[in-house]
Amino acid sequence: MNRILTLLLIIIISAGCRNHNKVKRVAIARAGDAVLYKDQVAGLVPAGTSVADSTVMIQNYINKWARRELLFRKAEENLTPELRKDIDNQLEEARVNLIIYQYQRQMILERMDTTVTDSELENYYMNNRESFNLSSNIVKALFIKLPVETPGMNRIRILARSNDQGDLQQLETLCYQFAEKFDDFNEDWVTLDKLSVELPSEIQNEENFLRRTKYFEARNSDSTYLYLLTIRDYKLRSSPAPFEYVKDDIKRIIWNNRRLEFIQSLENGIYNDALKQNIFTLLNR
């Protein structure tokens, strides 16, 4: 068996050097009425694979293929007529749904306006603000992780507390030289959970922490790293989410609503056209 597979492998590998215009397919295995062809196996073996490993790969593939085909044959022979009919119905339903889905998708790409303006986003937010309450505490913050022996640490501490743009640029330059991690979320909201996992110890009560903390500093257990966290702004869970935090979510909602409306309009148009053209009629009324 292994000799046969080895010869088969040589045939498959050498097939790439032959004329691809030949249409005759070479069968390599049969299971009932199902046939496995050489071209179905040729792409299984990555370049550079040894003959021994390639033989094992091909043998495993052939065995799996044979088991599946034989199981399918046995199942098909023994299914009741009711089950066969049910399968045929499911296959036809799946075919219809797939064709409809692809047609809808094509029409959406060709005809639907996908542009969502800032004014649309803002209006939706103002009219549905109660729907966008926060599920997590969010912050605008600065997070730095530094080796404790970093030179000029006191200067870095001062800069980390500053709101001056020049100081922050200087801080960024220093951190790119010495910091293990530097995340500036002064312009973007981020969940406090995302930052707290970077700290050496867990924040026990996030709400209290945010209410009383503007600047936080900690060391890890072996005092090799210093962690600096500056809180610029925060919003507590259950409070209304800032517009910029949910802007992308609103855009997806508007786009999805527009998509549903477009599909409904498409279906209505096709239905009404069918009525006018007598393509659809009610019988036996």
Query: pLDDT tens-digit profile of 132-183?
Result: 999 999 999 999 999 999 999 999 999 999 989 999 999 999 999 999 999 9
The confidence score (pLDDT) of residue 248 equals: 95
Residue 214 sits in a domain whose CATH number is 3.10.50
Whether residues 155 and 227 fall in one domain: yes
**Residues paired with 181 in a beta bridge:** 145
> Do the strands 138-147 and 34-37 form a parallel or antiparallel pair, or are they unpaired?
unpaired
Share of the chain above pLDDT 90, in %: 71
Task: Tell me which residue range forms the domain holding 57.
Answer: 2-78
Q: Is residue 69 part of a domain?
A: yes
Q: Is residue 264 part of a domain?
A: no
Q: Is residue 23 over pLDDT 90? A: no
Whether residues 151 and 229 fall in one domain: yes
Which pLDDT band holds residue 284 (cuts at 50, 70, 90)? confident
Whether residues 70 and 142 fall in one domain: no
CA distance 35 to 12: 16
Q: Is residue 281 part of a domain?
A: no
DSSP 22: -
> Using one digit for the tens of pLDDT, what is the confidence trace for 11-22?
454 555 444 455
How much is the average pLDDT of 188-197? 92
As for how many domains the chain has, the answer is: 2
Q: Is residue 254 part of a domain?
A: no
How much is the average pLDDT of 39-62? 86
Dig out the tokens for 197 from the structure. Answer: 């996992």
- Residues 228/144, Cβ–Cβ less than 8 Å: yes
Which pLDDT band holds residue 214 (cuts at 50, 70, 90)? very high
Whether residues 226 and 138 fall in one domain: yes
Whether residues 72 and 138 fall in one domain: no
3-state helix, strand, coil in the chain (%, to 5): 60, 15, 25
In 3D space, the residue among 8, 111, 19, 11 whose CA is nearest the CA of residue 59 turns out to be: 8
DSSP 275: H
Whether residues 139 and 231 fall in one domain: yes
Q: Is residue 217 part of a domain?
A: yes
The reply to whether the predicted model has a pTM over 0.75 is: no
- Residues 137/228, Cβ–Cβ less than 8 Å: no
Q: Is residue 29 part of a domain?
A: yes
* C-alpha count within 13 angstroms, C-beta hemisphere, residue 118: 2
